[in-house]
Amino acid sequence: MGGGILNSCESLDDMGFGGIRIIQKRDEFCYGVDAVLLADFAGRERREPEKIIDLGAGTGAVSLILSHKYPQAHIVETEIQKDSADRAARSAALNMLDDRIEVICGDIMELPDDMSGSFDIAVSNPPYMESGAGPESETEARNIARRETTAGLIDFLAAAAVLLKENGSLYMVHRPFRLADIISFARMARLEPKEIRFVYPFEGQESNIVLIRFAKGGGKELHVFPPLYVREKNGAYTEEIDRIYERKK
């Protein structure tokens, strides 16, 4: 692309959602279905939030979709990797959203004190694997995105609890095998699980994604939603996934 929009080895990809485009680098971490599902899950608040924070935003996929779902909201993205944060900022500017999306490159545990208790919604797609678990990725960027190398699950939950208003919502996407830790750590931070939905690649297979909404200071009542299946037996996306991607109304 002209005008210096892209750096070497970067691509400009169409996300849909009203024509949103995102800058990514193929040999690093690109957004996937989990980011889209998280944005859809968080995009169902009854009242439009004024302020949203995206913890560990990567290149900003979740925030870009939420800017489409909540056209009046101010969104703050936090990302520790400099290159990813730079792409997120350039994507916001490319979509003419830099007046609504603010990108902070830094540690989620070292955000300014004046941000505490100021957000209606927090969203997070944190690293799924504990540090040292499983084989390492081929690049440092992918390793940081997939493993708790710079911050652990408990850190993301604690940060969300500090940043949210009382009764504010944290929406998280993660893996079901971490569910016991997720709920245990969340309650330590006064985040009560309120809604949960399990996602399955195909009907009849084991769930590989879990979506959870927590309420800061909420009461002990958990609603389990019906399962979400990503693909039909023939490999095509299900009707609900097509609706989530806004391919069908």
25-71: pLDDT as tens digits: 988 889 999 999 999 999 998 889 999 999 999 999 999 999 999 99
| pLDDT tens-place string over residues 161-183 | 999 999 999 999 999 999 999 99
* Residue 146 CB contacts under 8 Å (≥ 6 apart), including other chains: 29, 127, 128, 129, 137
Placement of tokens 């599902």 in the chain:
37
pLDDT bucket at 135, cuts 50 / 70 / 90: low
Average pLDDT (231-247) is 96
Q: What is the pLDDT of residues 185-214, one digit of tens each?
A: 999 999 999 999 999 999 999 999 999 999
The helix (H) or strand (E) run that includes residue 148 is: none
Residue 139 confidence (pLDDT): 52
Please tell me the distance from the alpha carbon of residue 65 to that of residue 50, in angstroms, as a whole number: 16
* pLDDT band, residue 7 (cuts 50/70/90): confident
201 CB-near residues (< 8 Å, 6+ apart): 208, 229, 230, 231
CB atoms within 10 A of CB 134: 10
Lowest mean pLDDT among 42-46, 70-74, 141-145: 141-145
The pLDDT of residue 248 is 66
Class of domain 2-244: alpha beta
First CA to last CA distance, the chain: 32
Residues 46, 69: contact at Cβ < 8 Å?
no
Q: What is the pLDDT of residues 84-120, one digit of tens each?
A: 999 999 999 999 999 999 999 999 999 999 999 999 9
